[in-house]
């Protein structure tokens, strides 16, 4: 009765996760070759070539997602049965449901990780059966077939998943007396090598080396892969990876440590292989430990962590954050190696923690603003498709220096040096002179009469590191004093918080951020204003907010000036 109750709860948990409304996590479109697909993950901004499952390709996305989860869960059931042929099938079924539901919480509708995992338990189940088979006439073809399915569906994760599978295969082969191990290794690795050989790199826009599409990770320079495709600039948002994955990784590792204290080797059912069970426990510990090293260390140290190193030496692995599949594989390995009660408690607590502590970035969900798969997806999501198109179609603009205008200047502090904003000398500057940016600084311009402007150039000159952490520009047709709550006369003309750089475009039309030290703000549309208020909203320690020359971006010849 107890087993039936646990099985029913596990099934209800799995169905509840399975039947949630399908929420796409990617933008997908056919590649230029027409054979594969281009995919951009909306959470971490990974951009890659993706191949649908050979059996599920062409069906509706939500059904594809459901069937992938079902195939994965059935594979977990068979894997558990292969590990322990004497285990109650209801227990194996309940465990498979727990793991399937928990993996769904972690990866959601992520096609890359889900594709990597769909057939992987089936492959491992065949490998686990090797020590019990006397004749391998069927075992070798089965390993080759499932290895090909896993490599095909894994896309850029084919090399990492193959390395982990190779380690488990070696553990199984140590329990056999066969001397022909090379055939098993060939059956596993050859399909993966063939798939990687024919996997094309994604068509990369011609970004300049100083450009960016995601927020800087704080590490000087660009860490480049040693093997395979090399993107010109980083596209994975490491800050977002850490903010979303840190808590579940910490919670799972803590639970693993507690359970391992009570179950040092992982309690296994009678008739199962203790060596294989220990191999799965060790694999889970390695995966969780590597995940925490990748997430908890400062980025300057994390770039030499095991996962970061693997991403540089394995083909295409740099195009996707390896911490996500590492966590998922750690959960799977730990779940199949421990008994039902401990695994169920672990996975249930993990699931509860994920629900509470993994908020989704709302800006990534504006699918209509992202027209096609591209590393530039964060810019489309941030500004919207309409604004990006307006930026791209801006007419030729002139810079109008403040020394050519009758303008009154004021600021939050250091107003005696405001005249340096228009002395046509990039070696002098106005700055807040605080040694840091606190987010409460501002400069106000009062023009003699209203002027139509398209943007501003806040040139830091030789003080290139003193760019703002964030900027809001407000404008008003009349120069009324602005109240603390803000007057309706003052409109927000531009908001860049944080400031990542000026939106520029590649020859193909892909947007990117230029140098942060080139502080040029383009408005979504021209505005006629008499007063302009420039607010520095970011917080940066160790640098002032400095402007060497301030000029207005205008069209035509305003005020009769050339």
The helix (run of H) or strand (run of E) holding residue 550 is: strand 549-554
Whether the per-residue pLDDT at 40 is higher than 50: the answer is yes
pLDDT computed for residue 561 by the predictor: 39
Is the same domain home to 411 and 489? Answer: yes
324 and 421, same structural domain? no
Average pLDDT, the chain: 81
Contact present, 311 and 225 (Cβ < 8 Å)? yes
Please indicate, yes or no, whether residues 311 and 444 belong to a single structural domain of this protein: no
Helices 120-128 and 323-337 pack at an angle, to 10 degrees, of 40
H helical segments located in 199-273: 238-262
338, 417: one domain: no
As given in the structure block, the two tokens for residue 513 are 């951020």
Residue 229 in domain: no
Return the percentage of the chain with pLDDT > 90, whole number.
31
d(CA 501, CA 294): 27
Final residue belonging to a domain, choices 359, 379, 413: 359
Same domain flag for 262 and 114: yes
Q: Any idea which of 226-235, 320-329, 441-450 has the lowest mean pLDDT?
A: 226-235
Give the residue among 64, 16, 7, 3 at the shortest CA–CA distance from 352: 16
Are 355 and 396 found together in one domain?
Answer: no
360: pLDDT confidence band, cut at 50, 70 and 90?
very low
Residue where one domain finishes, among candidates 359, 378, 407: 359
Say yes or no: 414 and 492 in one domain: yes
Average pLDDT over residues 148-161: 94
- What Å distances lie between residue 533 and 307, 420, 446, 452, CA to CA? 46, 18, 9, 15
- What is the enclosing helix (H) or strand (E) of 70? helix 61-83
Q: Is residue 163 part of a domain?
A: yes
Q: What is the pLDDT of residues 237-248, one digit of tens each?
A: 888 888 777 766
Both 418 and 332 in one domain: the answer is no
Domain total for the chain?
2
Predicted confidence at residue 16, as pLDDT, reads 55
Residue 32 included in any domain: no
Q: Where are the beta strands (DSSP E) in 55-126?
A: none
Range with the poorest average pLDDT among 54-63, 94-103, 281-290, 459-468: 94-103
Asked if the structure places residue 225 within a domain, the reply is: no
Residue 541 CA to residue 439 CA, distance in Å, equals 11
Q: Is 210 exposed, middle or buried (0-12, 13-18, 19+ CB in 10 A)?
A: middle
- 204 within some domain: no
Query: Has residue 484 been placed in a domain?
Result: yes
Q: Residue 435 belongs to what domain range?
A: 389-560
Looking at residue 120, what is its pLDDT?
A: 96
Q: Looking at the domain assignment, is residue 112 inside a domain?
A: yes
Residue 488's pLDDT is 57
Q: Report the predicted TM-score, pTM, of the whole model to 2 decimal places.
A: 0.83
Shared domain for 150 and 188, answered yes or no, is yes
The 10s digit of each residue's pLDDT in 177-187 is 666 788 899 99
Contact 290, 306 (CB under 8 A): yes
What's the CATH code of the domain at 503? 2.60.120.260
């Amino acid at each position: 009765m107890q087993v039936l109750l646990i099985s029913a709860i596990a099934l209800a948990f799995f169905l509840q996760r399975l039947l949630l409304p399908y929420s796409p996590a990617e933008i997908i479109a056919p590649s230029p070759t027409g054979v594969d697909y281009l995919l951009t993950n909306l959470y971490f901004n990974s951009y890659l070539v993706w191949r649908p499952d050979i059996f599920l390709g062409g069906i509706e996305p939500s059904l594809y997602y459901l069937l992938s989860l079902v195939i994965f869960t059935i594979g977990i059931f068979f894997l558990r049965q292969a590990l322990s042929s004497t285990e109650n099938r209801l227990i194996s079924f309940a465990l498979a449901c727990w793991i399937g539901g928990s993996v769904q919480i972690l990866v959601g509708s992520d096609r890359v990780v889900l594709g990597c995992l769909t057939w992987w338990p089936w492959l491992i189940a065949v490998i686990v059966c090797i020590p019990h088979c006397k004749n391998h006439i069927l075992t070798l073809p089965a390993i080759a077939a499932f290895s090909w399915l896993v490599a095909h569906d894994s896309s850029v994760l084919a090399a990492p998943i193959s390395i982990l599978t190779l380690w488990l295969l070696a553990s199984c082969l140590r329990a056999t007396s066969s001397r022909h191990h090379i055939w098993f290794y060939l059956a596993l690795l050859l399909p993966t090598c063939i798939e990687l050989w024919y996997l094309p790199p994604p068509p990369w826009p011609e970004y300049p080396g100083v450009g960016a599409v995601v927020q800087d990770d704080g590490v000087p320079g660009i860490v480049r892969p040693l093997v395979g495709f090399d993107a010109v600039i980083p596209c994975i948002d490491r800050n977002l990876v850490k903010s979303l994955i840190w808590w579940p990784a910490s919670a799972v590792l803590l639970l693993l440590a507690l359970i391992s204290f009570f179950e040092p080797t992982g309690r296994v059912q009678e008739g199962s292989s203790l060596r294989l069970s220990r191999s799965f426990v060790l694999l889970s510990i390695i995966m969780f430990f590597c995940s925490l090293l990748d997430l908890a260390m400062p980025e300057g140290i994390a770039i030499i962590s095991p996962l970061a190193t693997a991403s540089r030496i394995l083909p295409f692995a740099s195009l996707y954050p390896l911490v996500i599949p590492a966590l998922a594989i750690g959960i799977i390995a730990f779940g199949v190696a421990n008994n039902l009660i401990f695994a169920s408690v672990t996975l249930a607590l993990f699931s509860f923690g994920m629900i509470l502590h993994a908020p989704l970035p709302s800006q990534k969900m504006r699918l209509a603003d992202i027209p096609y798969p591209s590393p530039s997806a964060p810019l489309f999501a941030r500004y919207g498709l309409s604004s990006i198109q307006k930026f791209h179609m801006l007419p030729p603009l002139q810079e109008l220096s403040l020394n050519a205008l009758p303008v009154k200047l004021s600021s939050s502090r250091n107003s005696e040096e405001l005249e340096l904003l228009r002395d046509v000398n990039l070696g002098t500057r106005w700055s807040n002179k605080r040694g840091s940016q606190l987010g409460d600084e501002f400069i106000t311009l009062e023009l003699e009469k209203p002027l139509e402007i398209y943007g501003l150039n806040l040139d830091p000159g030789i003080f290139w590191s003193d760019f703002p952490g964030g900027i809001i520009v407000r404008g008003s047709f009349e120069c009324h004093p602005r109240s603390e709550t803000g007057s309706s006369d003052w409109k927000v003309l531009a908001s860049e918080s944080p400031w990542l750089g000026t939106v520029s475009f590649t020859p193909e039309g892909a947007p990117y951020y230029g140098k942060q030290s080139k502080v040029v703000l383009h408005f979504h549309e021209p505005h006629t204003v008499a007063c302009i208020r420039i607010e520095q909203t970011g917080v940066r320690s160790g640098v002032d907010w400095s402007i060497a020359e301030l000029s207005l971006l205008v069209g035509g010849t305003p005020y009769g000036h050339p």
